[in-house]
């Protein structure tokens, strides 16, 4: 393996890294992070209407969300590796280009299949977050790096809420989903321009070649696993098709691990996935990813459920989904800036435990209290606090223990397991909502929602426990 210096020593302030340049870089990368997280959730409030328009069921329409998470899970480690090899800024711009292309395809789509293709292209932009964190680690001095990473990581939750609010505004004027994707494309162009003129590639680059076989195997095992989970209720859990898919997922996992251990430059360095400090960071990421992405779909559907017809729900509009999310977006923004100071005092692990505990409280609160609008506001206050603190601290914990030269791939692996957690949560909750329906309808029962929120709450609670154990073992790191 060869390495070439691409600029100043990472993390050392230079004349090229003035305060103004650092501020503009953070602005550009935060804007890109906002667009990426926005595209992940912008379609969620539209799913109930699109399900009718496209003539599919809940499991089928869920793939408009799952496809983006799935492609992101595969693209993230691959583009992160490319970033370490060819430059992180270049890969960020490519990721934004794929997001723009996917948005345009969705803006013209008229069938479920075309929408899924467009959403999969949009989802590859998830790689932008770990690439951005790598740029920050290469560019910012140590005393500012934690806060900068927290700000960019915090855009994940903020963008999700802003996306649903934006969708609500558009949905108030038209039932056509296409304008939403045109807006996403436009925002993607704006973010790409900002990055082009502000961000710089400075870190160390590696030679070598990408692990395409590992990427293909990873994609295959995730697709078979998620397809089995999502289609289990319709096909039957004991059917040959579902059992065959689970078997294929296991077999592909075994082959993938074998390949990653044998190739010189694997897609995923397993020590960065299951090493002493990496394992807990990635496990927390998996659990929090499940809680965050799983909750987006559940809350959106629940708010829009007409209480006068089915006996539960808040009878809200698409706009209401976004309005309920405003407290969450505001708190995520506040804590994304403040979490760095908290982590500097008590450690990233304990900070992450606090955030995960708040996230768990938001899910479990919703499972028990969901009859009135003010209760949903409480949910979003707890959620914004939890994920604002949690994701900001997680971005730091994922890279603080690895060499600077591997910050991109380490963050990429952490992002991979986070999006994989979101994909699995989407498939599981979609399966629950599809299998437990009101008699003679396709409408999920209240119990299905309560069970789903409870499972997501347990996932976040487990993340908090793992974070505390990590802190005790490694001194709060």
Does 165 share its domain with 52? yes
> What does R_g of the chain's alpha carbons equal in angstroms?
21
Pair 111, 240 in one domain: no
92-126 residues labelled b (16+ CB within 10 A) or e (exposed): bbbbbbbbbbbbbbbbebeebeebbbbbbbbbbbb
What distances in angstroms separate CA 300 from CA 11, 227, 291, 322, one per listed residue?
A: 41, 23, 14, 9
Please tell me whether residues 235 and 343 are part of one structural domain. Answer: no
- Provide the H-helix boundaries in 263-277: 270-274
Please indicate, yes or no, whether residues 306 and 318 belong to a single structural domain of this protein: yes
Instruction: Examine the domain organization and report whether 252 and 278 are in the same domain.
Output: no
Which residues in the chain show pLDDT less than 50? 1-16
Residues 327 and 412 in one domain: yes
Same domain? For 299 and 367 the reply is yes
CA distance 421 to 287: 6
| Residue at 4 is within a domain | no
**Tokens describing residue 393:** 């601290």
Q: Would residue 250 count as lying in a domain?
A: yes
Extract the tokens encoding 254: 């075994």
The residue from 233, 266, 299 where one domain ends is: 266
| Domain C-terminal end among 266, 288, 309 | 266
Kindly state whether residue 153 falls inside one of the protein's structural domains.
yes
- Residue by residue, DSSP assigns 291-324 as HHHHHHHHHHHHHHS-HHHHS-S----HHHHHHH
In a domain, 2, yes or no: no
Is residue 128 assigned to a domain? yes
What contacts 247, CB < 8 A, 6 or more positions away?
none
Give this prediction's pTM: 0.74
Contacts of 131 (CB under 8 A, 6+ apart): 79, 80, 83, 88, 91, 92, 95, 408, 411, 412
**Residue 457, pLDDT score:** 96
**Domain limits at 240?**
211-266
Residue 404 has a pLDDT of 63
Out of 266, 290, 305, pick the residue that ends a domain: 266
Read off the pLDDT of residues 36-70 as tens digits, 9 standing for 90 and up. Answer: 888 877 887 787 778 888 888 766 777 887 788 77
The answer to the question of residue 468 being in a domain is yes
Q: Kindly report the number of other CB atoms within 10 A of residue 200's CB atom.
A: 17
Q: What is the CATH number of the domain that holds 370?
A: 1.20.1250.20
pLDDT for the residue numbered 462: 96
Residues 285 and 256 in one domain: no
Residue 389 near residue 335 (C-beta atoms within 8 A): yes
Looking at the fold, whether 145 and 261 belong to one and the same domain comes out as: no
With respect to residue 3, please indicate whether it lies within any of the assigned structural domains. no
Quote the distance between the C-alpha of residue 443 and its chain's center. 27
Please list, in sequence order, all residues whose beta carbon lies within 8 angstroms of the beta carbon of residue 189, skipping any fewer than 6 positions away.
100
pLDDT of residue 460: 95
Q: Would you say the C-alpha torsion 59, 428, 34, 211 has a positive or negative sign? A: negative
Pair (27, 144) in one structural domain: yes
Tell me, yes or no, whether 43 and 157 share the same domain: yes
Domain count of the fold of the chain:
2
Model pLDDT, residue 27? 87
Each residue's pLDDT tens digit, 272-312: 667 666 778 888 888 988 898 788 778 888 998 999 889 99
CA 192 to CA 184: how far, in whole Å? 12
Phi, psi of 295 (to 5 degrees): -70, -30
SS3 content of the chain, % helix, strand, coil (to 5): 80, 0, 20
Residue 8 lies in a domain: no
- Are residues 280 and 260 both part of a single domain? no
pLDDT at 31: 86
- Containing H/E element for 82? helix 63-86
């Amino acid at each position: 393996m060869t390495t070439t210096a691409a600029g100043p020593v990472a993390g050392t302030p230079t004349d090229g890294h003035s305060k103004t340049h650092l501020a503009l870089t953070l602005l550009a990368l935060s804007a890109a992070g906002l667009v990426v997280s926005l595209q992940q959730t912008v379609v969620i409030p539209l799913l109930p209407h699109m399900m009718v328009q496209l003539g599919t069921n809940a499991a089928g329409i869920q793939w408009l969300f799952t496809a983006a998470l799935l492609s992101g899970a595969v693209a993230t480690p691959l583009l992160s590796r490319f970033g370490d090899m060819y430059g992180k800024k270049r890969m960020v711009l490519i990721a934004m280009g794929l997001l723009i292309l996917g948005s345009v395809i969705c803006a013209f789509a008229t069938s479920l299949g075309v929408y899924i293709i467009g959403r999969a292209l949009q989802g590859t932009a998830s790689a932008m977050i770990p690439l951005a964190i790598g740029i920050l680690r290469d560019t910012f001095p140590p005393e500012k790096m934690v806060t900068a990473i927290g700000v960019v990581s915090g855009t994940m939750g903020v963008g999700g809420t802003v996306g649903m609010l934006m969708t609500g505004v558009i949905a108030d004027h038209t039932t056509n989903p296409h304008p939403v994707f045109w807006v996403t494309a436009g925002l993607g162009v704006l973010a790409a321009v900002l990055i082009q003129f502000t961000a710089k590639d400075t870190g160390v680059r590696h030679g070598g070649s990408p692990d395409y076989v590992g990427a293909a195997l990873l994609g295959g095992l995730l697709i078979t696993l998620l397809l089995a989970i999502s289609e289990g209720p319709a096909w039957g859990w004991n059917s040959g098709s579902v059992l065959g898919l689970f078997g294929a997922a296991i077999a592909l996992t075994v082959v993938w691990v074998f390949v990653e251990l044998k190739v010189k430059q694997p897609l995923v360095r397993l020590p960065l996935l299951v090493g002493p400090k990496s394992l807990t960071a990635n496990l927390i990421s998996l659990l929090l990813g499940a809680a965050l992405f799983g909750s987006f779909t559940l809350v959106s559907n629940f708010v829009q459920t007409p209480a006068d017809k089915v006996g539960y729900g808040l009878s809200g509009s698409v706009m209401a989904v976004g309005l309920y999310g405003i407290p969450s977006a505001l708190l995520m923004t506040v804590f994304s800036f403040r979490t760095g100071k908290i982590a500097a005092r008590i450690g990233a692990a304990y900070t992450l435990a606090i955030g995960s505990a708040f996230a768990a409280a938001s899910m479990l609160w919703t499972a028990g209290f969901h009859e009135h609008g003010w209760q949903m506001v409480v949910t979003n206050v707890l959620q914004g606090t939890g994920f604002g603190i949690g994701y900001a601290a997680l971005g730091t914990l994922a890279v603080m223990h690895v060499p600077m030269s591997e910050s991109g791939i380490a963050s990429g692996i952490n992002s991979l397991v986070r999006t994989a957690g979101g994909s699995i949560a989407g498939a599981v909750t979609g399966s629950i909502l599809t299998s437990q329906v009101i008699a003679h309808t396709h409408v999920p029962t209240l119990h299905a929602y309560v069970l789903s929120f409870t499972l997501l709450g347990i996932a976040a609670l487990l993340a908090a426990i793992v974070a505390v154990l990590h802190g005790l073992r490694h001194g709060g790191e």
